[in-house]
Amino acid sequence: MNSVLNPRVLGAGLLLLSAVGLAMHGQPDLEGKWEYLAPEYESRLTHRDVFIDPAELLHMMNDDYIELIIYDVRDERDWNIFHLVDAERIPLDQLPTQRKRLRAQSSLAVVVIVSNDEILATEAWKRVIALAKPNAYILEGGLNHWLNIYGVLDEESDSHAAASLSRPDGTLRHPFKMALGARHAAARPDEHIAPQREYSSRVKLLKKVAKAGGCD
């Protein structure tokens, strides 16, 4: 009885119990971590601070100063039909593979997540924030909106018209004649020839704070 009440034994037991409890509880996954981060970041979604106009993305695609990363989180079928030049197809379940890369980005890096509309991209944005808190944005209206602005009539079957952006369901609403991926003219329109749009810039470059610490 005496040895059990020994402070050393009690301390050791407490440490071990705490460690076993931790092993049983586990660490939060990306969705769990987002739940914790939501109070801080959810307002950026609700205020639409992270949704950028297609014209702003086009401008960044032509800005050599910015280290632009475009994540296309759609399925392979839609990717093969059309995607932006320099975009990378990273499905939602493969986003964790980008952790080290995102953490190593400089203050000039901007991540833009695209999907057909905003549904999948918003889900991906939450996971990317939970993953590494990069300077990440979402293409407003998705690629359907992009193609409404920069799409080329001859590349689409039937009569090309601006696709409705209301009631988004995650589908690509522009019927292309051929699946040419990034070889469509709309994959990287010439900024000077493309329709000019007024937009309020949302992208702000991060100010990186050097981390410090350690012992000895």
Partner 1 sequence: MAPFDLVALLGTTGSYLVYLGIGFCFGFILESCGFGDSRKLAAQFYFSDLRVLKVMFTAITVAMLLIFWSTALGLLDYDELLVKETYLWPGIVGGIIMGVGFILGGYCPGTSLVSVATLKVDGMFFLAGHIAGVIIFGETVGFINEFWHSGYMGRFLLPELFGVETGVVAVMVVCLALAMFLGFGWIQRLVYGKQK
Does residue 213 touch partner 1 according to CB under 8 A? yes
**Which long-range contacts does 197-201 make (Cβ < 8 Å, 24+ apart)?**
197/53, 197/54, 197/55, 197/149, 199/52, 199/53, 199/55, 199/56, 200/53, 201/56
Shortest separation between residue 211's beta carbon and partner 1, angstroms: 4
Please say which residue, 40 or 190, places its beta carbon nearer to partner 1. 40
In the complex, least distance from residue 120 CB atom to partner 1, rounded to whole angstroms: 24
Task: Choose among 200, 198, 207, 202: nearest CA to 49.
Answer: 202
Residue among 52, 55, 61, 132 that touches partner 1 (CB under 8 A): 132
Map the footprint of partner 1 across residues 90-109, applying CB under 8 A: 100, 103
Span of 127-135, 149-157, 167-175, 195-203 interacting with partner 1 by CB under 8 A = 127-135
152 interacts with partner 1 by CB under 8 A:
no
The C-alpha atoms of residue 85 and residue 186 are separated, in whole angstroms, by 9
φ and ψ at residue 81, rounded to 5 degrees? -70, -50
**Binding region for partner 1 (CB under 8 A):** 11-12, 15-16, 18-20, 22-28, 32-33, 35-37, 40, 100, 103, 131-133, 209, 211-216
